[in-house]
Structure 1
Amino acid sequence: MKTPQTPERRKKRSRIVTRSFGLLLAVAIAGLFTYYWFENYYPNGERVQPDFGGLAKPVFYRGEMLKEEATGENDALKLPLAFMKEKVDPTIFHETATDSVIITTQDKVLRMKTNALTATVNEKPLTLKFPIVKKGDHVYLPIDPVKQLYGMDIRESEETGVVIVHLQGDTVQWGRANGGAKERPVAMRREPSIKSPIVADLQPDEEIMLWPEKDTEEWYYAQSKAGIVGYVRKKDVAVDRVETIPPLVDPEPFVPWKPTGGKINMTWEHVTTKNPDTSKIGPMPGLNVISPTWFHLADGEGNLKNLADASYVKWAQSQGYQVWALFSNGFDPKVTTQALATYDKRMKMIKQLLAFAQLYKLQGINIDFENVDLKDKAKLTQFVREMTPLLHEQNLVVSIDVTTKSTSENWSMFYDRTALAQTVDYMMVMAYDEHWASSPVAGSVASLPWVEKSIVQMMKEDRVPASKLVLGVPYYTRIWTEQTKNGKKEVSSRAVFMETVVKLIKDKGLKPTYSAESGQNYVEYTEDGKLMKIWIEDETSIKARIELVHKYDLAGVASWRRGYETPNIWELVKQTLEKRSS
């Protein structure tokens, strides 16, 4: 028989149970707290190898590892072409047809061929220490020429093989690992967390590069001199010096000719078979540049047809005119494709132009490539990039004619106006043929609002500087014929000189009226039951366009073409150009 528990014994036992439960609860809480602290505040001590994605020779730029690795080492180190195009110079041109890489700068054209130690700079031989190499689909450039051309700083780690690239003008913020009073190593971790594994132990005072693009509130994204990247706590880093990669000393820029204190006033001289009799050319006051259409692409091999005349040059220069001979592709897209296809063909054309310029004592070349397939857009731009430094070597002004912007591939879209404007000295915008010969609707050759819109569009969208933009104006117009046949309106036109319209108005006793919509005079009449319409090119329309040159401070004006104008136009252009330039 059990002895009954007294109240005192029951209380004592209850206290023991309570104390035991409290102790167990305290232990549990302490355990949970320890676990929580360990999980959240105890640094991970695991060490892992840096992850270079399986690349043996990874390349880094500003802490970012590139997709392609380098090849070689030390002086034989080579960088992937893809990196050079993406980060250094997108204009580097890889020509698969000739296994060539062509680099163009302000004053140089460097051509290197795969596995060849002989290259050319401005068509002069250059011996390379190491050639371009190709591995599979990847092309690699030797570092020596690219360092010289681009001022790159390339650092290769013997420890890891990592290649760190800095570009001219880059700034690098350096820091130092700060291990505290005990000078302990500082952990660089894979992610910005103490729970992330350690990729490198930074020794006290070790220098690291800090790349702020990936910083967090408490962590620096850093890179060691060995190229290892990761995160370091900000409290463990002392921010140190800023290194600036020295910029290249640019060569003296080519300064193209321009009239002192004035605007370019150019006209094209249309030469088809033989040159004009200069004794019959009347005075052209104010004119300072003339561009005879002398050189034409003859075939797909890059041979040029030459219509130049030394006596014409002598006459023009005696009148104070600069001679910027026009070079045309003949407006043949197939032949143009063939001639632009390779560096050798492009250089063949360039060398002929250089020889002609020297032979005839020319002062410039005006490029007029029209009706070009859209697929040749990059090659046309490359051609101009290759041509310009060599023409500048002979002190020749380089200009190019472009159409206004439209969605027509062969008429407008093949021009990379932004890239071309960065290369040439002047860009002539042919601001005419708003309504062309076979236009289904009658209208102005170049209404004033359309011309102004075209100028603004090119400056804003294509970033063509006003100081390079020359406004092309027409010295011709069209007589439009509208008639109804079988219930359907038919439209046709013919281009005529200014003088033709003056005579027609006089002979028929017509009275033109000013069209505010087009910004020019307009007249219409009937003839044999047909409605005839003319948007007139005269002093009114030409003066309005010259005012646009002043409004947007363009480089000047270029007229198509000499011989289409009435004699009074020259004095009008001269006075209007000088009125606000003086």
Structure 2
Amino acid sequence: MKKKIIPVLIAIVLIIVVFGIAFGGKIIDRYSYSKERADLNEIYAIQDETDTAIVLQDEIIEQRAKLLDGTYYVALSTAQELFNDRFYEDAGEGLLLYTLPEAIVRTVVGTSEVSIGEENKSFDYILSRYVGDTLYVALDYVKQYSNFSYEAFTDPNRLQIYTSWDQRQIGYIKKDTKVRRLGGVKSEILEDVKANDKVIVLEQMETWTKVKTADAVIGYVENKRLRDIAPELPIPVNDYQEPEYTSVTRDHKINLGWHVVAGVAGNDTLSEYVANTRGLNVISPTWFKLNDNEGNFISFATQQYVDKAHDMGLEVWALVENIEYKDSIDMYSILSSTTHRKTLIDNLVNEALQYGIDGINVDFEQISLDCGEHYIEFIRELSIPCRANGIVLSVDNYVPTGYTNHYNRKEQGIVADYVIIMGYDEHYAGSAEAGSVASINFVEEGIKQTVEQVPANKIINAVPFYTRIWSTTGTDVSSQAVGMAMAQEYIKAHNIETVWDEETCQNYGEYMDGDTYNQVWLEDAQSIGVKLNVMQNYNIGGVACWRLGYETPDIWDVIEEYLAK
């Protein structure tokens, strides 16, 4: 009997052992550390031997760098986005420019030389070069005008870049271990780290911590492998000292009136248009009209006008515009060419110096999105001779909206002396519906958004001396722009009873003429007074008026009151 039981027991034991080994193997396999290594080329999405990943702060970003002839380059768009948006490409003339307060830094693409005004300088690497159609700029050249740090690593190629140096958490490796792709013993190994290696602690979890190693590998280590986690404040890079873009701003509020001059003979109306004004201290004649694509313009400037204005105690800020001949000029052709911009700038400054003009008022409207970078480069470059010669540079702008962001008001506020908000045309010729030219919410929103980007003392808000008379027949909407006096005559002629509209802060009137619904939101001393109060609340640099000759005399009472505050 015993002989029969023994084999059975042995079989049972063997079965238990086999199951034990199998189960134990699974347990061991489940909790043992994987030795599989991740493909770092895949992690960093390396495409070829020149391709270089960028770790910005503590994150691998989409933008890439290139290692070319031992020098690291980034696409111009990356340099503009991450470091400094003043770098400018003239693709047509093969130039890379950077505008300083007193000079333009100029380099020909594919060379190692720069010119800064009359000074020439050479570097031991190519400063910029094309790869296909994309312009790449050497990081070391970008650092000449930007504060950031970068460190390069290989296998695979990657850059650690810092543009800010906020307090961070650091820790030290307690004993030799692995940095893994994810938190878990089965995750692939990214890198080996040694005891006492310093890491940056990015995120602490229950059993694993996300870290970044000294060579910019981001992964996870077990909490038990970390020690001495503590805050650290990095030392910032301040190698580049931003130069000051000095301004020719006045120590008093500006009261500017635009004087529409359609020809040289129009200059004779100066005395007539300013006779009834009070507190006016700047006159802006519409003198310069772009008329070709090379940077030339028609000028109605005369010495007699300037002298007479000065005798009246008025500064002259001559306006240059692109509307009169808009159908025969191409603003992109003018502004995207360094040669054409220089011609335009030289012509404007020469006119100012020849006649003793005090300022230049740039009124370039309907600038397309793709022309935005060229437009602001023009403003930067124009500011250089204006700054050098004490010529006030003011720039006219629409009320801020999403589709006018490319006018770059923030940069205007740095390089120009005054940023003028054209605080009108809320509803305009061609609007699909009738409405106010400048309701109070529209005006205040324009000022509020501009103050967020431009110093308040550099902001001038322009008010309308006109209104629109609207006629709606069925779905057809039309309007006529008229001055204040004519609007009052219209009200009287049609026996329209006006009421104060709290929403727009304007006197409003309406009447029916057959099937036509006629409406008018008046601009008058009362509505202008409310706008001026809002302007005073924001403590901006002054008021501009479009246009002289359209106002009624009582307007100057409220403007004079505003100037005295």
State whether TM-score is above 0.5.
Answer: yes
1:355 aligns with 2:340: no
Match of 2:375 in 1: 380
8 Å Cα contact 1:291-1:326 kept in structure 2: yes
- 1:549 is displaced (CA, Å) by 1.7
1:343 aligns with 2:338: yes
8 Å Cα contact 1:112-1:120 kept in structure 2: yes
Shift of the 174–342 alpha-carbon distance from structure 1 to 2, 3 Å rule, reads: farther
1:264 pairs with 254, 270, 281, which one? 254
Match of 2:244 in 1: 252
Cα distance between partner residues in 1 of 2:117 and 2:207:
52
1:186 pairs with 152, 177, 186, which one? 177
8 Å Cα contact 1:186-1:236 kept in structure 2: yes
Cα distance between partner residues in 2 of 1:268 and 1:480:
25
Match of 1:153 in 2: 149
1:564 aligns with 2:546: no
Match of 1:182 in 2: none
- 1:300 is displaced (CA, Å) by 0.5
SS of the residue aligned with 2:178? strand
Shift of the 357–79 alpha-carbon distance from structure 1 to 2, 3 Å rule, reads: same
- Cα distance per residue 1:431-474 (max 9 Å; x no partner): 33445456687665x25xx3423531674599555825433222
1:306 aligns with 2:308: no
1:430 aligns with 2:454: no
Match of 1:135 in 2: 131
- Cα distance per residue 1:504-544 (max 9 Å; x no partner): 788x6968633426544467899999998765443223223
8 Å Cα contact 1:271-1:294 kept in structure 2: yes
SS of the residue aligned with 2:66? coil
Cα distance between partner residues in 1 of 2:198 and 2:426:
64
- Cα distance per residue 1:39-73 (max 9 Å; x no partner): 23322345566425254352432352655342246
TM-score by length of 2: 0.79
- Cα distance per residue 1:272-322 (max 9 Å; x no partner): 212236555426332233322222212111113333334444444455444
Aligned residues between the structures = 548
The unaligned stretches of length 5 or more in structure 2 are none
1:235 pairs with 200, 216, 224, which one? 224
1:513 pairs with 477, 481, 498, which one? 498
8 Å Cα contact 1:55-1:69 kept in structure 2: no
Shift of the 440–177 alpha-carbon distance from structure 1 to 2, 3 Å rule, reads: closer
Q: Which amino acid aligns with 1:296?
A: K
1:70 aligns with 2:55: no
8 Å Cα contact 2:400-2:450 kept in structure 1: no
1:60 aligns with 2:54: yes
- 1:339 is displaced (CA, Å) by 1.1
Shift of the 357–15 alpha-carbon distance from structure 1 to 2, 3 Å rule, reads: farther
1:224 pairs with 207, 210, 214, which one? 214
1:455 aligns with 2:444: yes
Cα distance between partner residues in 1 of 2:37 and 2:400:
60
Shift of the 216–164 alpha-carbon distance from structure 1 to 2, 3 Å rule, reads: farther
SS of the residue aligned with 1:187? strand
Cα distance between partner residues in 2 of 1:378 and 1:353:
21
SS of the residue aligned with 2:212? strand
Match of 1:399 in 2: 394
- 1:207 is displaced (CA, Å) by 4.0
SS of the residue aligned with 1:338? helix
TM-score by length of 1: 0.77
Q: Which amino acid aligns with 1:94?
A: E
Shift of the 24–158 alpha-carbon distance from structure 1 to 2, 3 Å rule, reads: closer
Cα distance between partner residues in 2 of 1:441 and 1:44:
69
8 Å Cα contact 2:423-2:446 kept in structure 1: no
Match of 2:30 in 1: 40
8 Å Cα contact 1:459-1:466 kept in structure 2: no
SS of the residue aligned with 1:287? coil
Cα distance between partner residues in 2 of 1:220 and 1:440:
56
Q: Which amino acid aligns with 1:560?
A: W
Cα distance between partner residues in 2 of 1:545 and 1:372:
27
Cα distance between partner residues in 1 of 2:539 and 2:408:
23
SS of the residue aligned with 1:70? strand
Q: Percent identity?
A: 26
Match of 1:329 in 2: 322
8 Å Cα contact 1:481-1:531 kept in structure 2: yes
Shift of the 219–404 alpha-carbon distance from structure 1 to 2, 3 Å rule, reads: closer
Cα distance between partner residues in 1 of 2:385 and 2:53:
34
Cα distance between partner residues in 1 of 2:235 and 2:386:
35
Q: Which amino acid aligns with 1:56?
A: E
Q: Which moved more, 1:396-405 or 1:169-178?
A: 169-178
SS of the residue aligned with 1:97? coil
The unaligned stretches of length 5 or more in structure 1 are 180-184
Q: Which amino acid aligns with 2:535?
A: V
Shift of the 127–316 alpha-carbon distance from structure 1 to 2, 3 Å rule, reads: farther
8 Å Cα contact 1:499-1:565 kept in structure 2: yes
Match of 2:287 in 1: 294
SS of the residue aligned with 1:575? helix
8 Å Cα contact 1:510-1:523 kept in structure 2: no
Match of 1:545 in 2: 531
- Cα distance per residue 1:325-362 (max 9 Å; x no partner): 22211351543232123222223222333333444444
8 Å Cα contact 2:173-2:193 kept in structure 1: yes
Cα distance between partner residues in 2 of 1:481 and 1:324:
37
8 Å Cα contact 2:283-2:315 kept in structure 1: yes
Cα distance between partner residues in 1 of 2:201 and 2:79:
21
Q: Which amino acid aligns with 1:539?
A: A
SS of the residue aligned with 1:351? helix
Shift of the 169–306 alpha-carbon distance from structure 1 to 2, 3 Å rule, reads: farther
Shift of the 373–86 alpha-carbon distance from structure 1 to 2, 3 Å rule, reads: closer
- 1:265 is displaced (CA, Å) by 2.2
Q: Which moved more, 1:531-540 or 1:53-62?
A: 531-540
8 Å Cα contact 1:405-1:454 kept in structure 2: no
SS of the residue aligned with 2:16? helix
